[in-house]
Every structure is written in structure tokens, then in C-alpha cells.
Structure 1
Amino acid sequence: MSRRVSVPELIGRRSELAVLAAALTDATAGTGRLVLVEGDAGVGKTRLTQEFADQAARDGATVLSGGCLQLEADIPYAPFEEALRGLPERQALFGGGTDRATVFRRVADVIAAAGRPVVLVLEDLHWADASTRDLFVFLQRALRHAPVLQIGTHRSGEVGGDHPVAGVVAELGRLPHTERLRLPPLDPAETTALARGLLGVEPGGEMVKMLLARAEGNPFFTEELIAAWPARGEVPQTVREVVITRLARLTEGARQLSRLASVIGRTVSHDLLAELAALAALSEADIGGSVRDLIHHGQLVTSGEDGYAFRHALIREAIYADLLPGERRAAHARVARLLAARPTPVAELAHHWDAAGEVDEALRASVLAGASAAAAFAHAEAHAHYERALRRWRAASAPEALTGLDLDTVLERAAAAASIASRNARAVELTRERLALLDPVREPERVAVAYAELAHRAWASADWPLARSANQRALELIPADSPERVAIMAHRMGLAMLQSRHREALRFARELIPVAEAAGDTRSYARGLMVLGISSIGTGQVEDGLAYLRQHLALATETRDPRMLGVNYANHTEALVWVDRAEDALALSREGIARAGEFGFDFYLLLIVGNQVRALAELSRWDEALDTAEDPTDQGADAFTRLPVDQTRADLYLKRGDVAAAAALLAPAAATLAGQDDVQFGTELSALQALMALQEGRWADARAAVREGLRIALGADNQHRAARLVAIGVRVEADAGDDLARADEILAAGEAHLVALTADGVAPLPRTLRSLATARAERTRLATPDPAAWAAVVAIAAHDRHLLGYARFREAEALLLTRGSRQPAVTALAEAAAIAASLGAVPLAEDVRALAERARVALPAATTAPAEEDPDGLTAREVEVLALVALGRTNAEIAAELFISTKTASVHVSNILRKLGLKSRIQAAAVAQRRGL
């Protein structure tokens, strides 16, 4: 059931409020002003004028407000009677026996004498009776030099052509003291802010996209859609009632034409509408008059040189929803036949044939539409078309003859499109449907390839047990002499790489590449290059690995294969982060994000965004990293693909001391990875869970997380992830302060792991060495504090400023505990404090401050307060945004200036208003000015 909702504060409309405020300033000085506020129904005219009038009343103005009524028989002067009802003089104004001129003069005198200044608001002038219109026009002359601001609102969609108010608006709009103020729809950031205010939480990207597509920035429609959520395909009853009631005022021909137009779609050419109307027995005269009636009453607008469009998507949806099922099917069938006789996108035909219930035509068109969308890199759309084809398959008369394809091929096309569109859970289901149809005895090769694809899709939906079993089944089924064996071996090799079995993956790749090259199998050859690149870097052969990755990117660019491109940008950028080339990773990830829009590899998009966030974090650009992580992305994607974004965000939140925010991100990550033994994301999850438990002093939980992570990491070749867990594990014991033996055990396991790898030709990566050096230094905290151990970490920590600050803090602590020279300790503490302040690393800053107090070390004033210590709790980025608000910047302008998304700018502004206890940007600007920003 729909529930009515509203937001306490006005969303957007800052510039419109400023126009009204300026007009009131002029009126206060004795210069009468008129502002005509116009806009579509539901766009917020009443909300704007009410917000302004309330503020004006608080500032001392006298506010008089009335509204015109939509009645069968007009009541003369009704809005003025309502506006003046609180004044004692009203009783004698509109009585009988008084001529109009006298009434008009008396009304003007009463309004002018009501206060200084006066704000007179007349709403819904499109319903104004003739007497009200005449009095309204008279007052513009009579109050021209009085301290009165008059505001009239009307629906622009209902005041046009021969509407009696149209002439009034045109006449008054030419007066020098009049301003016409048209309310535009809310922009995407404002729509998001409205949804946030209604929900009390940040709306998901899927919801925002739906609201933008259907409500198109109309606040009333937006509120009603949210109230009816999650009934996503339905039109809220309140919206339907409004639209159908307005439609009832039109001629029968106009109503019939609107129904036909709603079946065609949001836009329609005149010729097509005329042909369809002729089939429905409407004459040419009826059509012309009906179209004019629909435009006059705001249902349609002209579109292009020879077409029309519904003013709002929801108007079309409401009219369409009012059709009876039989009417709807018959109309779609007529539309489909007309479109089939003219050049028409096959996707449009598929939609109409399907809605008409014409099974055979719908199946044939849907398969063609799927192929067309895939060729245009529109993989999400291709998936939707193939799903429709699958729904119609069994009811079709001869599906294979109609489509030229068998069911297995359609299932595989649907699964492939779903996978690259980041719907891997559905891709797994579709692939399993294939395997239920195929006979491994008669078609072992086809079944083996299906299992190999299932293995990849299972991994991409965080189902490692299924990925492993499917991969094994593919290897069992593929004949030794099969030409498909190359592709199966390529899948096996890729899975080994994804499991961080790098030495094994390299052996597979070196065997496969010459075979794939000889067979002309470009995709398998490219997979070999990718594995050589990633696994070479994983084993420490950095330059060789990067060369292979560049070669792979060149091949992907040449072939324009979306999956190949997506794989490269996802893996290549991550590898650059591994080897401390964060600037290169940042540049390449931004290139990949841009190309994702061109080639539609949605599955890889969030992985690439995740690496962009990691690169920014590694470059100590934490605010940018968190802003980038907030960018809108496809919320319908599998949860697995959000892991790199959310894990990096959680890491930064922990470093900034926001445990609650980190926990909110790690809980769904833990649910996604439960029971998966995932080396890449599972070990990082364990590391973050241990760090979170460590901050909260939950030693048992921290130890359990380290133990679980090491169980996975030490069984693979991923040296830097294993070393990171070793460092965290020893730190947990050092912070707990009571188990040197356990710390030695963890450290010994980590060093033995690296020794075993290096014995097989693996070279340690710099970040591996940093983590193990940190682990050794942490171990000294349980024995004899060793400043030299921490100095060794400092010497190699340049690529990790947070680690550098932490190491300098621990070095100072060790110097003080061993009664070493005091000045080096003071210098180290000061540097640690400066780093913590620059990063906003609150826990580190607090540790430094506590040590300085215990040691009676006076830190420089500039470095004692971390960035978060704002008097109102604003973050450093929020202070930047507040300064731009004070300069009058819009959310879009703030986003451009700070290189963040408009959505993120909107989030910052909302947070600022909440923290400062303010209701408007104007108030925020005043606060910024008082702060000297």
C-alpha cells in the first residue's frame, strides 16, 4: 500500500529562493514587485512559496495567502477572500451593492495597510475565475509603489493557447516590476537528496536510476514512487488518480489518442500516431483537434520536427496502466504491424510483439535484438532480450526454425551477456540450465566448455567450491585430441592464477601459449599473456610481468573484445598497485573506467573502480579515495564485484577511527565470502576484521581472524597478502602483550613461507619486505624494545605514509623505553603527529598524543590536532565544501572543482547541514562567512 511521505527541509531551489528574497528586499523599500512562479504539476511551486513565506513571516513580513479553486461554478474573488480572511476589514470588501472599481480600490488599500512589507501569495492561477483575474491585474498598477510583494503560481502545462490566464501572464510578464520564475525539475543530486531525506539512509544506485528515469526530477512523482517502493514497475495509485482525473476533462478523441500514444512509447511520430488512430476509426480532424487538446492540457509536448512526447514518463505509464489487458494487447499488435512495415529498431519490435502476446514474432525479434545489443556492447540489454526469448521459447511453434538457433546456444548467449553485465549469479543459473539439457556422452566437448564457463562464472559470483568442481569436471570431459582443449586449459590456467597458485599458473601458461598461437585461438592466447603478466609479478618478476600486461592490452585494444579489455584494466591496475606504482595505476584505472562505458564490460567496472580507490589510498589521497568510492555505479551488480571498493573504504575508515562505518562495509563482505577460501579478497577480509577487533580490544576475535587468514594465505603463492597478515598477527600479540610464543610462531610461519617461495625462484616484492620488517619490529615490543627495528621499517616505508607515521611513533616509543637519546624520540614523535594530522588518522594521532603526554614531550602546535578535530565535527573535505557553498557554488560546480561526483558533493552538503543543525545552504553560507571561509 502506498504511504504519503515528505521531507522536512526544502531540497534545492536555492537560486529560486534568492530571486524571491531579492524581490522582497525591493518591496520592503517601497517598490511593489510581482513574481510569477510557473512549472509543471508536482514540481514544487507550493513548497517553494510556502518555504519562502514562512521565512518572510519569521523576518517580520505580513503574509497573506490564498488559492484558486477548481470548481464547476466559479466563486468570485475566492482566493482573495481566503488571503484576507484574518483582517478585520475583509468583512466589508466583497459584499453586495458595491461596484467593482470600489471593491478593487478597497482591496488594494487593505493590502497596502496590512503591514510593512506584505507578501501576497495567490496559488493555482490557472483555475482563477474572471473576477479574480481582473482584480489580480488591477493590483499590479495599484500597488506599484507599495511595500508589497505579490507571488502568483500557475501550472505552465495548463496555461497555453487560448487559456484565459495565458493572456494575463503574457501581459503581466511584460511589466518592468514583474519577474517570471520557472521551476525546473530537480537535478540528479537533488533527487538523491530528496530520496535520502525520505528514507533516512543513502539511497541505492538502482533506486536513484529508477527515480530519475520515471519521475524525471518531479518532486511529487519522486515522493510517490518512493512511498510505493519496491513496487518498481507499478504507477503509484495517487499518481494514477491525478493523471486520469486530468485526462477526464479532455474530449473523448483526446482520451482515445492518449491511450494509443501510451502504447507506442514515450515519444511518437505524427505519422505513426495518425496511422494508428485511423485504425481506431478516428478521422484526420479528430486527430488534429485531439493532439492540440493534449498539448494544451499538458499531456503531450512537441518533440522534434514531426513528433510528440509525453510531458512526463509517469503520465504515459499512468495512462498505459489504465488500459484493459485486451485493449493493451490489441493496441500493441497494431503498433507492431505498423512498425514492421517501416525501418524500426528490432528491440522496439520485440517489445511490441511480446506485449501483444504474439509468441513467434516476439521470439524471433528478441533473439535478433539480443544479437544487435551484444554487437553494440550493450550487454545488459542483450541479456534482457535473451531472457525474453527464453520465456517465449517453449510456447513458440518452431523455435529453432524461427531463430536459426538451438536452445543451448540461446542459453549460452544469455549467460555470456549476463556475466559481462555483472549478473554472474544469473549466469551460473543459465549455465546450469545448459548442462541439464546437454548429454556428456554425445557432446563431451560442448559440455566440457560449458563447465569451464561455469567455473569462471561461479568464481565471479563468489562460489569457489563450485568453481573448483566445475573446472575439474571440464578437465575430465574434454577429449585429448579435441580442438576445444586449448580453451579448457586456458580456463584451468586462469583459475590457478585467481587462486594465487602463481607458479602452477606460469607452468600452464608456458605450455598453452604456443599451442593457442598455433591453433589461432586469440582469446586463449590472450589469457596466457594475462596469466604470464599477473603470475610473473606475483612471483616477483615485475618488469617481465608488466611487459606481458602491456602486450595483452595492445591485443585487447586491437580486437576490441569487451571481456579482454575489462580483464586487462581490472588486473593490470591491481598489479600496478602491488608493485608501488600507484600513479600509473590511477591513470590506467581512469582510462579503464572511461572505456567501460564504451564497451559495456560492467562486471569489471567496479573492480577497476576498486583499484582506482586503492591507488588513491596508496597515494595518501584518502578524501579522494572515499569520494571516488561513493561514485554512483550499478547497484544491481553482484555483491562480489563491490569487494575491492568496500574493503579499501573499510581500511581507510579504520585508519581514521570510524569503526562503525568499517563494520557496516565488512558485514556484507563477510556474508559474500563465507566458506569460500578466497585468497585475494578473503585474506584481506581477515586482515581488516583483525584490525577492527584490535581497535576494539577484542583479542580473541582478532586472533581468530588472523588464524583464518593465514590458513588461506600460507597455502598459496600470494606473498604480500600472507606477509600483511603476519604483520597484523604479531601486532595483535604485541598489543595484547602476553604471548611472545604465539608472536614467534606467526613470524616463523611467514618467514618460512617466503623462504619456500624464494627457493623456487620467487623474488620478494617490496610490500612483502615492508610487512615482514614490520612484523619483526612488532615482535620486539614483546621482548626488548628495539628502535633500530623500527628505523629499518622507516627506511623502506616511503610508499606507505600511514605505515611511516606508525613506524616513527613506535620508534619514538622504543627510544623512550630504552632511555635512548631524547631528541631523536621527540623528532620521531613530531613527524608521526604531522603525518597523522595530514591523513586524518585519528587513532594514530591519539596514540602519538598519549605517548607525548606520558613522556612530557611538547609537540609543535601545528601537529597536535588531527584534521577531524573541527569545532562542529566537520571533516577536512566538508570544510572545503562549506567554503565553496559560501561562494554560491552548486553541487555540480563543487564536484567539478574538487574532482568528485555530483552525488558525493550532495552527500557532503547534506552532512554539513546536519552537523551544523541548519536547514538551508544560505544559512550554511552565513556560518562559513563567520568562520572566515
Structure 2
Amino acid sequence: MLPCVETRSVSPVFVGRADELAVLTDALSRAAGHEPQALLIGGEAGVGKTRLTEEFLCEATRRGAVVAVGGCVEIGAEGLPFAPFSTALRSLRRQLPEELAAAAAGQEGELARILPELGETPRVPHDEESTARLFELTARLLERIAAGRTVVLVLEDLHWADTSTRHLLAYLFRTLGSGSLVVVATYRADDIHRRHPLRPLLAELDRLRTVQRIELARFNRAEVRRQLAGILASQPDEDLVASVFERSDGNAFFVEELVASMKSGCRTGLTESLRDLLLVRVEVLPEAAQRVVRIVAEGGSTVEYPLLLAVSRLTEDELIEALRAAVGANILLATADGDGYRFRHSLVREAVSDDLLPGERARVNRRYAECLEADDTLVRAEERVIRLATYWYYAGEPAKALPAVLDASVAARRRHAYSEQLRLLERAMELWDSAPADVREGLRPVDYTEVYPPCGCDPATTPLVRLDLLAEATVAARFGGERERALKFTKLALRMLDDDPDPLRAAWFWTERSRLVSSLARGDGWEELAKAQELVRGLPPSHVHAEVLMRAAGWGMLHNPGPDNLAAAERAVEYARMVGAEEVELDARVTVGCLLTDAGSPDAGIAALHEVKDLAVDRGFTMIAGRAHINLTSQLESMGRSREAVDVAERGVELVGRARLLDTEAWIRGNLAESLYSLGRWDEAADVARRTLHVAQSAAPRGSASARLAYLALARGELTEAAHQLAAAHTHFGTHDTQPQHRIPLYRLTVGVAAGEGRIADVRAEFLDAVAYGFPLGHHRYAWPLLLAVATAEADAVGLPSADAGRAAALDAIRTAARGLATPFPVWAAHGEYVRAELRRAEGRDTVEDWTAVETAVRPLERPYLLARARHRLAEAVLAAGGDRDRAAGLVRHAHAAADRLGARRLREDLALLARRARLPLASTGSEPVEAEVDSDPVEALGLTSRERDVLRLVAAGCSNRQIAEKLFISPKTASVHVSNILAKLGVSARGEAAALAHRLRLFAPADQPTR
């Protein structure tokens, strides 16, 4: 060993970075108070990220924190899925075995996809929520471990991170909400070019206020002087400082390399090329050490000692001596667990690797691959398959590389690392033509395709073809969130099928394209499904045929209900049963159950949905069970069986919550919120809807949750909040796929907001749009509330100057629409009665008998808000007819109590005003009723002055501020002040809303308008 290479090149003194270290230690203190912390440390290669992290970890350990470090691994072009998380969790498992076991209890199989030591990963169906489910489980695992202690999780070299690691890190940074946890990630800033995959993540994280970003700058001259003093153990002369600072430009690693090169006697041979600077100390090592360093450079970020011994072909003594020289020269370091070696700095590794001759690189990679094939104990099992694929690929051996890459793609899929699976499948397609024909013919779909069912062939005996790889890549891209790429794969595959027709494969790709087009807002997916149906028409039953029929029936159920969909769904069930496609069969049976209910066989439909739900749970098909819960709760609600729907929804949330099917959970929660709203459990409904927004991964369930919150706000009289939530729902649902179950409720909400703001013209325009859109079969449940809202708006607008013209036509349109709607259940029959009574009220012809019929129909329904509204109108009718005041008082008292309990502010105020004007009691003490406080003037009861009363009368008549000023002989500015005061006292935000309130409360009844 050469004495000149045994030199200290790292300063024992921690130089600079005091501010950055303070930020990290402050985060540590905050985390100790159960406030999770997230930090990013960036800087160019060699600037000192690792040293700063080491100093921070020393401080964290001193404070009693549990520290776990994981580094991203550079293996070929695709990286090792979840590598830093696997390493860090493995470290936590060694330090806290019992705590980690308790935190993972019940989810060991799923979490084994990241930490294989937890057990075997389950062979469960894959879906688009698989990755999100795994991420949620990982986040909760970390929160549980950090519940009773401070945990510091460091992820190094994020610039090498695989896609799955980047996505998981982003998920953690967005969702961690509890526990004493600090997550720190480091990355090399100079590697992040414009197209680097880390760049979008950094931009996303910059927008999160919970993430702190630390950027390390180069050292200044004074800091370089201090670093040199630490390395040399003495004060350096100024010429040396000037030379090193100029040549290193303040990069801490370059300073170390320059000093080490000068001490090794290589001063004159050093060029200004960075590559030469990094290689100079390698070139003065003994030959055996140089050889080992070159081997390590091709092995990946870290190379295990047994593997290095096998690849180097040195004796153990020779290898140890070579390693001692490389470690002594600060080129290699032993890993923290002592199992292997890595470069002290990745820049040196890159320089050594780039310096290899092409033939030399291929030979080293071939040796790695041969050794791994000969002995599968040389590396961890979960790493072996991906490293073998990488080594054979860079060895330039397609015959070996193709099957190895395909094996690695299967391993990535089983870890739900779909992005890495996709990269490997693309590499397999790259190798396909280069691999010998006999190798390709020996590959079988059964070994490499799982999500995609090989079409029309026996996967155990038929050779794998390129289209199979395209199909699996399509699904991997979709599951990995790369839908644009998935769409391109379908386009390429269908172009290939034009030259070599295969109806089943083409139908499969068109079906995939349908769902991709829909999810990318390029259309509703029907054109693609129609082509798939045409391709399978007349073919024998098959898995693909059954799935096409199932998808088409499901599409029709949501977009164009009718008897044809039921026939298609039943045929899908039959075909799936013939070919043993149990999941497709159960999925189709869910559609059958819903369509039976819509077609007038509710008992059969509900029974079918219950049966599928139970079978799916028994078989472990959680996605199908989740869909059954979604549709069952929806159908029960449509029948008015809200209490039963709540019970089913709560069980469904628990089931899919355990499996972390987040979007499925969001849909069930959305239905739960709707049923809770119907039952008058509004606070619970609001909590569930807000939780839905947090859980949902896709836009549509978020739209449903926003709509639920808009309904609540509207009922409570919070028009601004209702408008805000309505706008959010429109944004979430988008315009590309206007399903009736989404679109009609949005019409109803838009009508409600417009009516509340006194915009009757907008109410009518929106309703005409809804009528033009249509109310398809089975969607009466959404249409009746819309008709009721429009009819109520017309009745409330009587007396508005802008409402008279066009009222007759509007009422005729409502009656026409009502005649075309079914009333198959009592809840909708009651709505029909209510709409009829409101239309008569709009014409001034409603009677006590009309409202008695409404109240009688609504009373048994467990719809407290609807009942309170009906009783309000009945009380008004009784009083107007000079009827039984005790009856009217009882109606008002019960309705007011219900409105108060619900928080329906607008209805409560209407009832209180009615009670004051009619001198009716709102409450009773003992046996004697207590009279409501009587106000001779209802306008004064609202706190308005005499002048404000006059102004409000003119506002209600539609006058502008200038017109008000002219009529009252005041200035327009004074009129404006009065209007502002009136809006504040009435608790409204616009003139139209104030006018609508005045007319609704009948504060200024015109001479030709009957008063109550």
C-alpha cells in the first residue's frame, strides 16, 4: 500500500452551515411536540449535504430520537422500487422490533411490498387504488411508530429516486398529520435538469407550506480557510487558500480532493478537468485496488462484500487489502450495516464508471450477472431480480436480459411499483427484436401477465407476443397514474392490430382506451366501447367478451339508462360464468342489481346487490365489494330507506377503509353523507363530506362531496358557502362526462343559489337547460328535488317585479316535467304532492287541503327538513283561511324546533316571523303556552329603521340607488349607505338577495297580493 494515499481529507471541524443546522434542530424540537416536520436539503454535488445531515443526526441521537437512514439506489435506468424506504424501515425494525410489529399489525402482507421482512405479499387483484392504498398504510405505520417517540427519517440522494419513491415521499409530505416525525430528503441540485423527473415533485412540494427547503451554497473564502485548517490541523498559508478556493470554487468536496491530491504528490499531473480531478487519487492506488474500485462502480450504489468477492475473483486476503487501500484513500466507505461498500462520493463513482472501456463495462456487468445466477444468496432476495435484469442489460446479452427484465417487471408489479414495472416493460420491448427467436418463443404469458388477461389463448402454452407486453404496459401506466402514456400504448397496439387483426385483443385495447379517454377528459368513452362491442359481436364467450359487455352495461346505466343495458349486463354475467371470470361476473351482477331496481323490480335488485356484496367479501374481491356497497347505498337512498343506507354505508367504509381503497371509500362516504342529510343528521353529514374530500384521490368523488356540502349550506341559508361549494363541484366533475347522477343535482343547486339571491330569471333559464338535458329512467330521485326547488322559487317570487312576465310559461314547464316523472316510492310521491302545492301557491290558489296532503305524505318519511318546510306552509294556509289557531301554533312550534335542531337558519327565521305576525307561541312552559314576543311591525323586528324600511321597499321593487334617491329626495351616496346597512342587518350579500328575502317574508305585500 502506498503511504501517500493514507491521508485525512475530511475536516474534523464542522464548517459553516450554522443557520441550516439551526433550521433542522428547530424542526426536531417541533416534532417532539407531535408536529410532523418535512424538509428538503438541496445543493450541488460535493457541497456538503451529507456532512450537514450527519451533524444533524448526531444532534438528534443526542436528544434521544430514533434515527433511520435510507438512500436511493442507482441501478440502471429505473432504480430499485422504494429502496430508501425499505432500508429506513428495516433500520427501524432493528431498533424498534416490537413497536414496528404492533404498528403494522393486520397489514403485514401489504406493507411487505415495501419491507419484505414482514411476510409474504398477498396475491390480490391489482387496481388503480393499489398504490394509494400502500402509501396510506405506510403513512399510518410511520405515524404509529412516532406516536410515543421522536423518529427521524432521512432519505438520501433523491435525484436517483425511482418513481414510486418520489410518489410515496410526496404523499407523506402532503398527508402526515400526527406523530413526532421528522422526514428529511436530500438531492443533488445540479443534476435536476429541466426534464429530470424530480423537478415536478420539487415544484409541487414548494407549494406546500408544511415543507421547508434548505439550499446549500458553496463555501466562501473564509469558510474554505476554516475547512483547510481542519484538514491540515494547522492554519494554511494564504497562497494555499487562494489556490484551493479558486480551483474548488468553494465546493467542499473539491477542496478535499485538491488537498488529498497535493498530499499524494500528484500536484503537477492534475488538470483542470473535473473528471481528471476525481480520478487522480484512483490512479495512484495499487492495481488490485483500482480493479476493485472499477468493479464497485458498476455494481450500483452499494455492493455487498460476498458479491464483490465473487465478481473480483480475488482471494479474500487480496480483496481485503485492495479494499483497505481504497477505504484508506477515502474513495470507498463501508456501509453502515457493515455488509458492503460504496463510494464516499457519487461523483467519483460516476467518473470511474465513465472511464471504463465499452468492452470492460460489459464484461464487469456480465460477471455480476453470472455470480448472481450462480448464488442467489449474495444479495437480498427483493433486490436480486432487478439487479440481475440490470446487469444482463448492460452486459449486452439480449438472450439473458429479456427474461430477466420481464421477471423484474413482475416483481415490481407485486410491490405495486407500477411506474418501475412500466420502465422495465419498455426495456423488454426494446430488447424484444434483439433476443433470439427461441428465447422469445420460450416465454409464456402466464409468467409475465397478470392484470391483462391474454386474449383467446392458453397462457400456459402460447408464446408471449409483443402485444402482450403492450397490454401489460398499458395497465401499468394506468395504475401508475401515467394515463397519457397508457393512451399512446393503446394507439400503438391498435395500429399493429390493423396489420394483423385479432378481434379479441383489439376489443381489449379499445376497452382500455375507453376508460383512459374518460379519465383524461377527452370524451365519455362510448365511441371506444362501441368499437369493442362490434369486434366481439358473434364471437364465442371469452373473458374479454364478458368484460366488454360488462363495461358497456355499466356505461349505459350511468349515461343512458334503458332495458338494453339490463340485457347486456345479464349476458356479461352469463359469459363470465362460462369462462370462469368470477370477478367480471360479480362486477356485472352489481350492474344487474342496479338496473333491476331502476326497471321497477326493487326487491329483486336490492337482494341481488346484497348477494354480490356478501360473495365479494367472502372471495376477497374487495374492489367489487366496495362497488356493491356504493350502489347498494345509493339504491336504498333512492327508495327512501335512508336509515338502512346509513347502516350499509358505515359497514362499507369500515371494509374498504381496512383495505385502503381510498376512492371507493370516498364514494361510499359521499352516499353516507347524502343519507345523513336526508335523516336530518346534518352535522354528521358535514363531517363525512369533509372527510370525503380528504380521502378522495379522484375528481368525481370530490365533486360529490362538494355537492353534499353545497346542499347543507343551501339548507342552512349560507348562500355564499353554497355558491363556493357548487363551483368546486362543477370544477371536480368537469364537462367531458356529464352523467345524469352528477349533472341534475348541480342544476338543482344552481337553482337554489339563484333563488336565494332573487335571480328568478336565472332560475328559469337553468330549469329550461335541465329540461333540455332530460331526466333519464331511474333518475327521478334527482329530478323531483329540482322540480320542487323551481316550484318553490316561483311561489316565493310572487310580487317580484321581474317575476311576473314568464311565470305562466314557467309553471307550465314544471307541470309538464312532473307528469313525465315516476313516483315508485312514497318519498317521491310526497315530492309530487309538494310540487303540486307549490305550483298552486305560485298561482295564489293553494288551500289547507293541499298542504295537509303534503304534510300527511311527508310525515312517515324520516325527512325532518322536508317535514318542517311542509308544516310551515300548512300553518300559513291554516292562518290565511282563518282556521284553527291551536293547530297552526302546533305546526309552527314543531317546525321551528326542527329547524333550530338542524341549523336551518333561513327556515327558522321564516317561522319566527310568522309566529310574531300571527302572535303564535313558539315554546311552552308547564301547561300554559308562552306567547312569542309581538312586534306590531315585522320590519322593525328585523332591526330596520323607518328610513331603511322605505329604502328596502324600493329595493324590493327593483329600484337602483339613483332611483331610490330620486323617490326619497336623498343623494345617491346616502341611498347607497342605507342599502349597505340593510344588507348587513338582513345578513345577505346582494340587493337581489335582500329583495328575495323581503318578498319571501311578505314584508311589503302589494294590494293585489293575498296576505297571510
For normalisation by structure 1, the TM-score amounts to: 0.58
Structure 2: distance between partners of 1:620 and 1:613:
11
Task: Please say if 1:573 is aligned against 2:536.
Answer: no
Cα displacement (A) at 1:41: 6.6
- 2:215 maps to 238
Which aligned pairs between 1:66-465 and structure 2 lie closer than 5 A? 155-157=59-61, 207=170, 209-210=172-173, 217-218=181-182, 229-230=203-204, 238=215, 324=350, 341-342=375-376, 344=380, 349-350=385-386, 358=394, 367-372=406-411, 381-382=417-418, 384-386=420-422, 388-390=424-426, 393-394=429-430, 398=434, 404=444, 405-416=464-475, 428=487, 430-439=489-498, 442-459=501-518, 465=523
Q: Which moved more, 1:568-577 or 1:332-341?
A: 332-341
Task: Please say if 1:501 is aligned against 2:501.
Answer: no
- 1:750 maps to 817
In structure 2, the CA distance between the partners of 1:749 and 1:212, relative to structure 1 (3 Å rule), is: closer
Cα displacement (A) at 1:47: 9.3
> 1:824 is aligned with what amino acid?
R
Structure 2: distance between partners of 1:822 and 1:222:
76
- 2:959 maps to none
In structure 2, the CA distance between the partners of 1:294 and 1:536, relative to structure 1 (3 Å rule), is: same
In structure 2, the CA distance between the partners of 1:231 and 1:834, relative to structure 1 (3 Å rule), is: closer
- One of 599, 605, 622 as aligned partner of 1:539: 599
Q: Which moved more, 1:673-682 or 1:454-463?
A: 454-463
- One of 830, 837, 840 as aligned partner of 2:903: 840
- 1:679 maps to 740
- 2:135 maps to none
In structure 2, the CA distance between the partners of 1:800 and 1:474, relative to structure 1 (3 Å rule), is: same
Cα displacement (A) at 1:691: 1.7
Could you tell me whether the CA contact under 8 Å between 1:347 and 1:365 is conserved in 2? no
Structure 2: distance between partners of 1:829 and 1:750:
32
In structure 2, the CA distance between the partners of 1:823 and 1:748, relative to structure 1 (3 Å rule), is: same
Could you tell me whether the CA contact under 8 Å between 1:259 and 1:319 is conserved in 2? no
- One of 812, 820, 828 as aligned partner of 2:883: 820
> 2:59 is aligned with what amino acid?
R
- 2:683 maps to 623
- One of 551, 557, 567 as aligned partner of 1:491: 551
Task: Please say if 1:688 is aligned against 2:749.
Answer: yes
How many residues are treated as equivalent by the alignment?
669
Task: Please say if 1:482 is aligned against 2:540.
Answer: yes
Task: Please say if 1:722 is aligned against 2:783.
Answer: yes
- 2:130 maps to none
Task: Please say if 1:771 is aligned against 2:675.
Answer: no
Which secondary structure does the structure 2 equivalent of 1:686 belong to?
A: helix
In structure 2, the CA distance between the partners of 1:521 and 1:186, relative to structure 1 (3 Å rule), is: closer
Cα displacement (A) at 1:187: 7.3
Cα displacement (A) at 1:534: 0.4
Could you tell me whether the CA contact under 8 Å between 1:421 and 1:600 is conserved in 2? no
Give a deviation string over 1:286-340, Cα, whole Å, max 9, x none.
999999x999xxxx987xxx88999xxxxx9x98799758769999979988877
Structure 2: distance between partners of 1:749 and 1:656:
30
Could you tell me whether the CA contact under 8 Å between 2:707 and 2:726 is conserved in 1? yes
Structure 2: distance between partners of 1:555 and 1:523:
10
Structure 1: distance between partners of 2:909 and 2:782:
28
Could you tell me whether the CA contact under 8 Å between 2:593 and 2:609 is conserved in 1? yes
> 1:473 is aligned with what amino acid?
K
Could you tell me whether the CA contact under 8 Å between 2:692 and 2:701 is conserved in 1? no
Structure 2: distance between partners of 1:830 and 1:261:
84
Structure 2: distance between partners of 1:263 and 1:854:
89
Structure 1: distance between partners of 2:671 and 2:185:
38
Cα displacement (A) at 1:544: 0.9
Structure 1: distance between partners of 2:767 and 2:341:
60
Could you tell me whether the CA contact under 8 Å between 1:616 and 1:622 is conserved in 2? yes
Structure 2: distance between partners of 1:616 and 1:719:
20
- 2:716 maps to 656
> 1:449 is aligned with what amino acid?
W
Cα displacement (A) at 1:537: 1.6
Which secondary structure does the structure 2 equivalent of 1:155 belong to?
A: helix
Structure 2: distance between partners of 1:654 and 1:338:
70
> 1:218 is aligned with what amino acid?
V
Structure 2: distance between partners of 1:439 and 1:743:
54
Give a deviation string over 1:789-837, Cα, whole Å, max 9, x none.
3343333253322222222233333333443333333322222222222
Task: Please say if 1:467 is aligned against 2:525.
Answer: yes
> 1:741 is aligned with what amino acid?
A
Give a deviation string over 1:827-883, Cα, whole Å, max 9, x none.
222222222222223333333334344444453499999xxxxxxxxxxxxxxxxxx
Unaligned runs of 5+ in 1: 1-38, 53-123, 128-152, 161-182, 192-203, 311-315, 756-762, 866-933
Structure 2: distance between partners of 1:526 and 1:515:
12
Unaligned runs of 5+ in 2: 1-19, 34-51, 65-142, 152-166, 190-198, 220-250, 261-280, 283-291, 445-463, 934-1012
Cα displacement (A) at 1:549: 0.9
In structure 2, the CA distance between the partners of 1:775 and 1:283, relative to structure 1 (3 Å rule), is: farther
Could you tell me whether the CA contact under 8 Å between 1:610 and 1:629 is conserved in 2? yes
Could you tell me whether the CA contact under 8 Å between 2:633 and 2:646 is conserved in 1? yes
Which aligned pairs between 1:583-622 and structure 2 lie closer than 5 A? 583-596=643-656, 601=661, 603-622=663-682
Could you tell me whether the CA contact under 8 Å between 1:221 and 1:239 is conserved in 2? no
- 1:136 maps to none
- One of 725, 736, 741 as aligned partner of 2:808: 741
Structure 1: distance between partners of 2:576 and 2:613:
18
Q: Which moved more, 1:405-414 or 1:339-348?
A: 339-348
In structure 2, the CA distance between the partners of 1:159 and 1:205, relative to structure 1 (3 Å rule), is: closer
Structure 1: distance between partners of 2:908 and 2:300:
59
Give a deviation string over 1:681-740, Cα, whole Å, max 9, x none.
111222222222222223333333333333334244422122222222222322333454
Could you tell me whether the CA contact under 8 Å between 1:267 and 1:308 is conserved in 2? yes
Task: Please say if 1:645 is aligned against 2:705.
Answer: yes
Could you tell me whether the CA contact under 8 Å between 2:576 and 2:584 is conserved in 1? yes
- One of 811, 814, 819 as aligned partner of 2:874: 811
> 1:238 is aligned with what amino acid?
E
Could you tell me whether the CA contact under 8 Å between 1:206 and 1:635 is conserved in 2? no
Structure 1: distance between partners of 2:876 and 2:296:
77
Q: Which moved more, 1:785-794 or 1:774-783?
A: 785-794
Could you tell me whether the CA contact under 8 Å between 1:733 and 1:742 is conserved in 2? no
In structure 2, the CA distance between the partners of 1:308 and 1:536, relative to structure 1 (3 Å rule), is: farther
Structure 1: distance between partners of 2:734 and 2:832:
26
The alignment's C-alpha RMSD in Å is 5.8
Q: Indicate the percent of aligned positions where both proteins have the same amino acid.
A: 22
Give a deviation string over 1:444-464, Cα, whole Å, max 9, x none.
23212332343345455666x
> 1:752 is aligned with what amino acid?
R
In structure 2, the CA distance between the partners of 1:345 and 1:184, relative to structure 1 (3 Å rule), is: closer
Structure 2: distance between partners of 1:723 and 1:799:
17
